[in-house]
Amino acid sequence: MAKVMLEVKELTTKYITRFQENIYAVDHVSLKVEEGKSLGIAGESGCGKSTLALSLMGYYFPPLHYTSGEIIIDGRNISGMEPDDVRKSILGKEIAYIPQSAMNALNPTQKIIHFIEDVIHAHESHVTKKEIYERARKLFEILGLPESTLQKYPVELSGGMKQRTVIAISVLLSPKVLIADEPSSALDVTTQKMVIKMLRDLMEKKLIKSMIFITHELPLLYNVTDDIMVMYAGQIVEKGTAEQVVFDSIHPYARGLMGSIIVPEQGLRDVKLTAIPGVPPNLKNPPAGCQFAERCQYVRPECKAMSVNLRELKGGRAYRCILSEEELREAYQNG
């Protein structure tokens, strides 16, 4: 069995607003990523997927607060560590994070090589500039980025190039986990494809050991990751392999989400897109019971009364519903 790179047990984090309200944006989330595997997290805006990305790093700053749970990176428990220690010894080295707007995070007055020097010097002193350059050159060569990029300023690069450069910089120290939060959603399809290809390359060439990819674009997720997790209102509602979740989802919400996929392929025009009425619950005062009950087509009276646990199936599949798999499938068959 492959080594587990990242294991998260019952992680709960919350935002505390200015009015001292608690918003639990990540609610008892457990996940496991093995070496060489990638995990996708899907969900609509506001479902807590970006908060989960921030929480996974163990680096909390207000208004985000750690509540409970454990984060274990390659056998090392980092929950409860001081933010400063996390920044020094975990970020970049163990976990690398690429936010959506990463390409705008580059200081426009510095050359690319300068950022690389910064990153390496922060973790390894006594490395000469020449060695760093050589390392950067090799990495860029592997990733198919032109060497000349190193001597350029961020403004001289196109959006896609900038994003790929940022990704290259973030994997300099061969992190064990790469968390990519919507790394391509601000880009055109062509550059998006380049970024996706690069992420796949990173995995194939073992520059990173595992990856968590967060996006609301399901076709993308399907093409990038091995496993997919669907989040709703801060909770995991479905977990499984990409194939299973996309083509054979169990949870009504996941099913609705998959039914709304639009891809330019033959037969699309004959498909009726699924629509889920209503809006996600307000996390300031979440409803009792199932968070999805309000919008669910197959809702039963008891859904709103009792809290619903994640049901684990074999092969790592799981879904959060009071109905059994058979009951749900039967309901889908009958429309």
| Positions in the binding site for other proteins (CB under 8 A) | 18, 44-45, 188-190, 192-194, 196-197, 200, 216-220, 222-223, 246, 256-257, 259-269, 273-277, 279
Query: Residue 144 Cβ, how far from other proteins at the closest point, in Å?
Result: 9
| Closer residue to other proteins in complex, CB, 133/298 | 298
Q: How far apart are CA 177 and CA 190, in angstroms?
A: 26
- Give the DSSP letter string of 262-325: --S-TTGGGSPPP---S-PPPTTSPPSS-TTGGG-TT--GGGGTS--PEEE-GGG-EEE-SS-H
| Closer residue to other proteins in complex, CB, 140/222 | 222
Q: Is 74 exposed, middle or buried (0-12, 13-18, 19+ CB in 10 A)?
A: middle
Q: Are 136 and 116 in contact (CB under 8 A)?
A: yes
| Closer residue to other proteins in complex, CB, 3/219 | 219
**What is the gyration radius of the CA atoms in the chain, in angstroms?**
21
Query: Residue 190 Cβ, how far from other proteins at the closest point, in Å?
Result: 5
| Closer residue to other proteins in complex, CB, 83/144 | 144
| Closer residue to other proteins in complex, CB, 5/51 | 51
| Closer residue to other proteins in complex, CB, 92/252 | 252
Query: Residue 321 Cβ, how far from other proteins at the closest point, in Å?
Result: 17
Sign of CA dihedral 193, 199, 203, 205: positive
Q: Which amino acid is at 314?
A: K
Query: Residue 230 Cβ, how far from other proteins at the closest point, in Å?
Result: 12
Q: How far apart are CA 138 and CA 219, in angstroms?
A: 32
| Closer residue to other proteins in complex, CB, 155/263 | 263
In the numeric block, which tokens belong to residue 212? 């968590």
Query: Residue 181 Cβ, how far from other proteins at the closest point, in Å?
Result: 17
Say how many C-beta atoms besides its own lie within 10 A of residue 218's C-beta: 22
Which distant-in-sequence residues (6+ apart) come within 8 Å of 195 by Cβ?
160, 163, 164, 167, 183, 184, 187
Q: How far apart are CA 241 and CA 229, in angstroms?
A: 8
Q: Which amino acid is at 12?
A: T
Say how many C-beta atoms besides its own lie within 10 A of residue 240's C-beta: 23
| Closer residue to other proteins in complex, CB, 147/188 | 188
Query: Residue 53 Cβ, how far from other proteins at the closest point, in Å?
Result: 18
Query: Residue 277 Cβ, how far from other proteins at the closest point, in Å?
Result: 7
Q: Are 43 and 20 in contact (CB under 8 A)?
A: no
| Closer residue to other proteins in complex, CB, 211/220 | 220
Query: Residue 162 Cβ, how far from other proteins at the closest point, in Å?
Result: 15
Query: Residue 80 Cβ, how far from other proteins at the closest point, in Å?
Result: 26
Which distant-in-sequence residues (6+ apart) come within 8 Å of 303 by Cβ?
289, 290, 293, 296, 322
